[in-house]
Structures are given as structure tokens and as C-alpha cells.
């Protein structure tokens, strides 16, 4: 028999979700069988898989020792292979706002086995003594939003589980306003507009198609833009995402005949100067809460920007 006490960062999640994170080597059918046969109890009683855990709850386990003795430490400490240096826009006890540079991926993939923005965050917090995998049973610092590898800008990282839950919810309800700067090829017919369309994604090509009318399997996309200045050949625009779709800005602006400079996927390799990536940067974030944000209420109404001298295409116009 073994026991685990639910800590602050474990509270508020379903039992099955916690178990999947804590015992990554345990097959799901076996986990459900353990719960059904009372081999896993909550506060000494039989429990359901969807019960919400509370801080101070005690789980009792009558399961194979191998699941407790799995190499959790080796898996958790893989982030130490990533660099720990970050470009920090803002930091407090609950979150980090980071200026991700183009070329950095946010999460590991098959090509990058160790280096990613989330791994760098975990390494940074580990060095500061704010994250210790040995003390955490299921939680690790995580990113709230994603940005394409070749796009730069503000990414939010949550330091604790409560902040992560709140920020994820605020993302879903559009209470975090994100603004981008981009360099367009040509000049839009309207200097300011709200674009509405529908998109489908070709997974094999990782490319989006935009339609002006509803299509089967299509998702609505809404993009607001405002031209800040132009020389006719290129235009600098501010864009606000009203929906969050794959390659939304790149595909939507290309659909009206003004693709992003340097964006070969959506129609324009042309760019003033030698741009290595598409000219797009998530430069501003605004917290606009319309409902209670709990421990993050102090952020309501605050706005953060990255230093514009770090956005390499601004000098083009």
C-alpha cells in the first residue's frame, strides 16, 4: 500500500487526468480497472474517475510498485538539456510573459528532442528554485498560447496550476487580446477592415485554405487589421485575432491579395532585405477580463508590448 497527498498544484483536476500524468507508464484500461476494483481509493473510500481532487485529499494505492518506481526523475529532468536563458517581458509569482524569437519552437517535436520554449521555461524556473519536479506529482510549468516556429512574439507561461487553469479559460472566452504587426506585400484595398471567412486545413501539407462562405468541415475565422503606414509596395499593418486558427493571419491576408512578406507558403517569397521568416510578430497583449479571474484579477486592464526595435522588419518602411 502507498499513499499520495494532493498538493495545491494537483487540486482542481479530475482523478483520471491526475493519474495519467503521475503514472505515465500505466495503461488506461489498467487504471480504470484499479479504480473499479477499489485498488485506488480517495480518502479511504471508493471513488469515480471524474471526481475533482481537492488540496489535502489522500489517495491510497494497492497497485504494482513498478508504477511508483518508474523513472519519473529522468523524464522530468529532460528540460535541463535546453538553454535556460529567456527574454522576459514581464514576470510575477504566477506567470511569465516571454518574447519568443522566430526559429524557436514552443513544444518539442520529432525534429527537436530537447530544446523548446517550454523546456527553457522549466529550466529557468528550476534554476531559480521555483520549480522542483521532485515536489510536484503531476504539474509542470506550461505555456498558455502557441506561436508558430517562424513567428515571434509574446507567449504566456503559467508557473502554477491555478494560474494555468484561469489563463486557459480566459483564452477560450477571448479575454486575452492579442495584437500582431506584419509587413504585407502591396496595399489592401481598405486601410482598415474586419475579415470574415472559413478555413480548412490540409494536414499533410500543413496549409490552410480560406473560403468566403461556409464549407464542410470549415471553421469560422475573423481577423481585424489596420494599415499603419505604406509605401505602396509594402504595408505595415496591425492585426487583432478575433478567432485563433492555424496560420490565420498569414492565410487570411493572402486571401485578399496581400500576403506577408517572406511567406513562401502563402504566396510571397519577396521581402525588402534578406528576411529568413515571414514578417509577423505578436507584439502586444492586453488582459481584458469580463469575469472573475481569481488570483490573476490584478492583471485586468494591463497591457504589455515587446520592444519594437527587436522586430526586425519595422525598419523596412
What are 268's strand-pairing partners?
A: 263
CATH says 73-172 is which class?
alpha beta
CATH fold group of domain 179-282: Pseudouridine synthase (3.30.2350)
Q: Can you give the pLDDT at residue 296? A: 98
Report pTM: 0.81
Report domain extents, the chain. 2-70, 73-172, 179-282
Domain 2-70, CATH 3.10.290.10 — does that match? yes
- pLDDT tens track, the chain, 317 positions: 888 889 888 888 899 988 888 887 888 889 999 999 999 999 999 999 889 999 899 999 998 877 776 555 444 578 999 999 999 999 999 999 999 999 999 998 776 678 999 999 999 999 998 998 887 877 899 999 999 999 999 999 999 999 999 999 999 999 999 999 999 999 999 999 999 999 999 999 999 999 999 999 999 999 999 999 999 999 999 999 999 899 999 999 999 999 999 998 998 777 776 677 899 999 999 999 999 999 999 999 999 999 887 788 887 77
Q: Can you give the pLDDT at residue 70? A: 57
**Does the fold of domain 179-282 match that of domain 2-70?**
no
Amino acid at each position: 500500500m502507498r499513499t499520495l497527498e494532493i498538493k495545491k498544484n494537483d487540486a482542481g483536476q479530475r482523478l483520471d487526468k491526475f493519474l495519467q500524468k503521475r503514472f505515465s507508464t500505466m495503461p488506461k484500461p489498467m487504471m480504470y480497472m484499479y479504480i473499479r476494483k477499489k485498488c485506488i481509493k480517495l480518502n479511504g473510500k471508493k471513488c469515480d474517475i471524474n471526481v475533482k481532487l481537492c488540496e489535502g485529499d489522500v489517495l491510497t494505492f494497492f497497485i504494482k510498485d513498478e508504477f511508483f518506481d518508474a523513472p519519473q526523475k529522468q523524464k522530468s529532468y529532460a528540460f535541463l538539456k535546453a538553454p535556460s536563458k529567456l527574454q522576459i517581458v514581464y514576470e510575477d509569482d504566477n506567470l511569465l510573459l516571454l518574447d519568443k524569437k522566430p526559429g524557436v519552437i514552443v513544444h518539442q517535436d520529432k525534429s527537436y528532442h530537447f530544446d523548446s520554449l517550454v523546456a527553457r521555461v522549466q529550466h529557468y524556473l528550476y534554476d531559480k528554485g521555483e520549480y522542483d519536479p521532485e515536489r510536484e506529482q503531476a504539474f509542470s510549468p506550461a505555456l498558455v498560447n502557441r506561436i508558430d516556429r517562424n513567428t515571434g512574439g509574446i507567449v504566456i507561461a503559467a508557473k502554477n496550476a491555478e494560474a494555468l487553469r484561469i489563463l486557459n479559460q480566459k483564452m477560450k472566452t477571448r479575454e486575452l487580446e492579442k495584437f500582431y504587426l506584419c509587413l504585407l506585400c502591396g496595399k489592401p484595398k481598405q486601410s482598415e477592415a474586419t475579415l470574415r471567412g472559413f478555413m480548412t486545413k490540409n494536414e499533410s501539407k500543413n496549409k490552410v485554405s480560406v473560403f468566403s462562405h461556409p464549407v464542410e468541415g470549415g471553421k469560422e475565422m475573423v481577423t481585424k487589421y489596420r494599415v499603419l503606414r505604406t509605401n505602396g509596395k509594402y504595408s505595415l499593418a496591425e492585426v487583432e485575432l478575433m478567432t485563433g486558427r492555424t496560420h490565420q493571419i498569414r492565410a487570411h491576408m493572402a486571401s485578399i491579395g496581400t500576403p506577408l512578406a517572406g511567406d513562401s507558403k502563402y504566396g510571397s517569397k519577396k521581402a525588402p532585405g534578406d528576411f529568413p521568416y515571414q514578417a509577423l510578430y505578436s507584439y502586444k497583449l492586453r488582459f481584458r477580463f469580463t469575469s472573475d479571474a481569481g488570483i490573476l484579477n490584478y492583471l485586468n486592464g494591463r497591457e504589455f508590448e515587446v520592444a519594437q526595435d527587436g522586430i526586425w522588419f519595422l525598419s523596412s518602411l
